[in-house]
Amino acid sequence: MSSTSTEEVAGWQSSGQQGQADAGGWQRMHKLTPLIKGWTYLLGVIAVVSHSVLGGSLDLSHSPAKVLPAFAVMAAVVLAIVVLACLSWWTTAYRLGEAVIQHRKGILFRQTRQAPLDRLQAVDVVQPLLGRIVGLSELRLEVAGGTGGDFRLAYLSDANAQRLRRVLLAQAAGLSLTDGQAGEQEAPEAPQHQVYELSTGTMVAAGLHSTGTLMAALWVVGAMVTSLVVGSATVLLALLPGLFTTATVVWASFNSHFGFTVATSPDGIRLRHGLLERRSQTVPPGRVQALEISQPLLWKGRGWWMIKMNVAGYANNVTTDQLSAVQTLLVPVATIEQVALVISLVLPDVGVPDPREVLRAGLLGRTGDGSTDGFVVAPTQARWLAPVTWSRRGVMVTDRCVLARSGRLRRYLRIVAHERMQAVGVRQGPLQRRLGLASVVVHSTRGPVRPRVDHLRVADAAALVSAQSARARDARAVAQQQQWMRQVAPVLADALAAGSTPSSPNLPTPPQ
């Protein structure tokens, strides 16, 4: 092997677990990767051929000459899948440097991508069911900018995936690494403090209080009543498609939200959840671009809320990745006290002396013209355009962020820090012009959170927009540096040298 620089090799030479690195320091995935990726295709081929042979199109007892070619075709297709999976594994690799990560793949058409680590938005460790059985994980790196900003390293051994996650976060945060055994770069596991855990009972109760469950129950009752009236049970057959769809949605929610926990650590906010597929997300400090706290209608009596977030890296998958709803979920079900605690992790300084009171006003406030709760609200003429929700619409601007509230049947509170705003604008339709109203739209990165406040007075909307550009510019000038862990690097370095894990001075005090 030719000599390479430290930046090229990046300290990852665990050949026994992941295959040997080549002369350029590229590291391949685990040797079992073709099996994990290709087994679904193999099952599909076997199912198609089995259906063709056993389903009646071929007769085993009378047409043996036709059976053998079918199995020959199946064997050829299986062999082709195996060869392609092995070639894909052979040509897929990654290389970690001091400031960038590179990823290459492709059999006929080679693709090599690289991303600076200072644009790393989140690191996810995903363990599918089969991967958990054999001890493999997929590492997903969400990088801001462009499209397709995610790097997927599938599959690594669990130990190597966790170690690479630590090294990536440490390098992105500005922490100097040391060489461990066999020249491998190593970073200590940052300490964490769990602040939220979703119990199974609460998760099930929240699912039963969903609109989908209510509609399914009404559908069942309606079908049963109809069958009794017409005197025929065939009407009940119409329930099957709807019940199957409802069961699929309920199971997907249960599977993804099971065991949901939120913890804080020096390397960011850690989210862990999932039953069959276990997902561990790490969102570094300052990477959350916007927040949305919402409360469905049926949750009001229980005082439950849901928190979603915009993260720049996840924005690339919002319209195409079916897991985007899971990736952008910060808390699935929480009380207002738990909401306040989790929000304090993402945005420690809301810019007001009493953030809990402001949060409560944004979540529960219902005011009309002349409000004194700190929100600039829609005037009374807005009731012509929003007769139900006009009194809930309002906006508050603090020294650190913008809070926009709306919704009556489903309440919303959206929060965007000044330094995270992309743009702010005013929109006005013909009816709004006649009533002297306008809407303010705050542009964040793509995601589920879309902050806007409709039907403000034109003067209030214009004042907000004109002042917000200056606030955003000033906030970005004093924003925390990207390499957030430099302030705790000495503590972690001492712990690494001593072979122990330090306690973080920045962890919040747990609620009493």
What letter would DSSP give residue 11? T
Q: How many residues does the chain have?
A: 512
Query: Over 60: is that where the pLDDT of 34 sits?
Result: yes
Task: Measure the CA–CA gap between 138 and 142, rounded to whole angstroms.
Answer: 13
Task: Measure the CA–CA gap between 310 and 445, rounded to whole angstroms.
Answer: 7
Q: Is 354 left (phi over 0), alpha (psi -120 to 50) or beta?
A: beta
> Are 445 and 310 contacting, i.e. CB atoms less than 8 angstroms apart?
yes
The residue-averaged pLDDT of 189-216 equals: 89
What letter would DSSP give residue 507? P
Token look-up 């072979």 returns 499
Cα pseudo-dihedral 371, 372, 376, 377, rounded to 10? -20
Return the half-sphere exposure (C-beta side, CA atoms, 13 A cut-off) of residue 24. Answer: 8
**C-alpha 95: how far from its chain's center?**
25
User: How many distinct helices (H) and strands (E) make up the chain?
Assistant: 15, 23
> Are 311 and 290 contacting, i.e. CB atoms less than 8 angstroms apart?
no
Residue ranges with strand state E in 128-174: 136-143, 150-157
Query: Would you place residue 423 in the very low, low, confident or very high pLDDT band (cuts 50, 70, 90)?
Result: confident
- Residue 329's SS3 state is strand
Percent of the chain with pLDDT over 70: 78
Q: Which residues pair with 439 in a beta bridge?
A: 427
pLDDT given at position 496: 43
pLDDT given at position 2: 33
Highest mean pLDDT, choosing among 21-35, 44-58, 222-236, 298-312: 298-312
> Are 180 and 28 contacting, i.e. CB atoms less than 8 angstroms apart?
no
- Closest by Cα among 352, 438, 353 to 397: 352
What letter would DSSP give residue 387? T
Task: Measure the CA–CA gap between 438 and 460, rounded to whole angstroms.
Answer: 9
Q: What is the pTM of this model?
A: 0.81
pLDDT given at position 225: 80
Two tokens, residue 30: 């685990």
Residue ranges with strand state E in 386-476: 394-397, 401-406, 411-417, 423-427, 437-443, 452-457
Two tokens, residue 255: 């599977």
pLDDT given at position 271: 95
Query: Over 50: is that where the pLDDT of 25 sits?
Result: yes
Query: Over 90: is that where the pLDDT of 194 sits?
Result: yes
Return the half-sphere exposure (C-beta side, CA atoms, 13 A cut-off) of residue 461. Answer: 24
**C-alpha 374: how far from its chain's center?**
32
Query: Would you place residue 148 in the very low, low, confident or very high pLDDT band (cuts 50, 70, 90)?
Result: low
The residue-averaged pLDDT of 192-221 equals: 88
- Residue 283's SS3 state is strand
Two tokens, residue 423: 């743009």
In order of 63, 358, 411, the CA distances from 306 in angstroms are 61, 18, 10
**C-alpha 144: how far from its chain's center?**
14
Between strands 150-157 and 376-377, the pairing is: unpaired
The pLDDT tens digits of the residues spanning 218-245 come to: 877 877 787 777 777 776 777 777 777 7
The total of other beta-carbon atoms located within 10 Å of residue 319's CB is 8
Task: Measure the CA–CA gap between 36 and 366, rounded to whole angstroms.
Answer: 53
pLDDT given at position 315: 57
> Are 107 and 90 contacting, i.e. CB atoms less than 8 angstroms apart?
no
What letter would DSSP give residue 191? P
